[in-house]
Amino acid sequence: MTQHFTQQVTFYTEDHEWVTVHGDLATVGITKYAADQLGDVVFVETPEVGKTVKKGDEMAVVESVKAASDVYAPLSGEVIDANGELADAPEKVNEHPETEGWFCVIKFSDGAETKGLMDKDAYYEFCKGQA
């Protein structure tokens, strides 16, 4: 039951990822809040293109000067693209976390899964609760 999003919509997860959906594709990255919390990002391991992920799977790893953190798949589907530029320029995650610092694109299989995600206002409130 693929739900198509005719317009681009951005959702957020409790793990501080952003998910921009358009049609049946979702571009995923970590939020500015997460990037600021991590500090200087020194390495990103993006998922392999072609990999099938289930919502909640460990999908990528982001390493900062402090520690390694897992990035979870926000939706189930197939990884159809990954940001190869992060290999040589991991600092893009700090500089432009919600644009150039994207991690991967998932072709998602169940649009209903977006129902569990937050919109911008809800995520803002969620971050306030974490401070």
Q: Which is nearer to another protein, 1 or 67 (CB)?
A: 67
Which residues, 73 to 92, sit near another protein by CB under 8 A? 87-88, 90
Structure tokens of 49?
Answer: 């293109």
Residue type, 65: V
Structure tokens of 65?
Answer: 């000067």
Residue 43 makes contact with another protein by CB under 8 A? yes
Q: How many residues bind another protein (CB under 8 A)?
A: 15
Q: Which is nearer to another protein, 68 or 112 (CB)?
A: 68
Q: Which residues pair with 104 in a beta bridge?
A: 28, 82
Residue type, 64: S
Site string for another protein, 108-127 (x = CB under 8 A): --------------------
The answer to whether 92 and 125 are in contact (CB under 8 A) is no
Structure tokens of 12?
Answer: 């957020």
The single residue among 4, 54, 66, 120 that binds another protein, judged by CB under 8 A, is: 66
How far is the CA of 21 from the CAs of 45, 53, 110, in angstroms?
22, 16, 12
Structure tokens of 69?
Answer: 């953190």
The window from 1-9, 65-73, 96-104, 117-125 that contacts another protein (CB under 8 A) reads 65-73
Applying CB under 8 A, the residues found at the interface with another protein are: 39-40, 42-43, 45, 61, 63-68, 87-88, 90
